[in-house]
Amino acid sequence: MELTVGTVLEGKVKSIASFGAFISLPENKTGMVHISEVSNTYVSDIRQHLTEGQDVKVMVIGTDNGKINLSIKRLEPKPQRSSSRPAASRRESASPQRPPRAAMVTPPAAPKTADQVFEEKLKQFMSESDSKISSIRQYSEHRTRSRRR
């Protein structure tokens, strides 16, 4: 049996480590479920979610140098984001109808002519040049003042 990404398999938890769990797969293969792939919620202790000998359904999320990476959480439905406020109060405090985001986008500026582009580049060059010259002057003045005669 060829293990490809996205394949769903049944396995048994072989052993548990602090970073994940090793799962026995068909054909005497072993894969690992990283602690971040156990549940859709934060997992601080993997032993609260899995026990050795437990049958689990896993999805293959990668194979690398003979190692099989598995996930349990990708087979679970994604949790809905909940708000701390009840739905009724959310409706009352909602802002007035806003236009869709597409309507709020400002139109692009008119293309610049070659002269305008040149002028901008020239201004940028002059300001950088002035800055460099002033720092060189400060450095050289400092050196001439600190020299002993």
Q: Output the six-digit token pair for 105.
A: 């986008």
pLDDT exceeding 70 applies to what percent of the chain? 75
pTM for the whole structure: 0.52
Banded model confidence at residue 141, pLDDT cuts 50, 70, 90: confident
Residue type (1 letter), 143: R
Beta-ladder partners of 95: none
| pLDDT 10s digits, 56-65 | 999 999 988 8
Distance CA 24, CA 30 (A): 5
Q: Which residue has the higher pLDDT, 9 or 100?
A: 9
At 108 the pLDDT is 65
Task: Give the torsion through C-alpha atoms of 131, 137, 142, 148, to 10 deg.
Answer: 160
Homologous superfamily assigned to 8-75: Nucleic acid-binding proteins (2.40.50.140)
Beta-ladder partners of 10: 57
| pLDDT 10s digits, 69-99 | 999 999 888 777 765 555 554 555 555 566 5
pLDDT exceeding 90 applies to what percent of the chain? 33
Q: Provide the residue count of the chain.
A: 149
Positive/negative CA dihedral, 116, 122, 124, 127: negative
Coil vs helix vs strand at 35: helix
The yes-or-no verdict on residue 103 having pLDDT over 60 is no
Round the average pLDDT of the chain to a whole number and report it.
81
At 82 the pLDDT is 65
Q: Are 62 and 69 in contact (CB under 8 A)?
A: yes
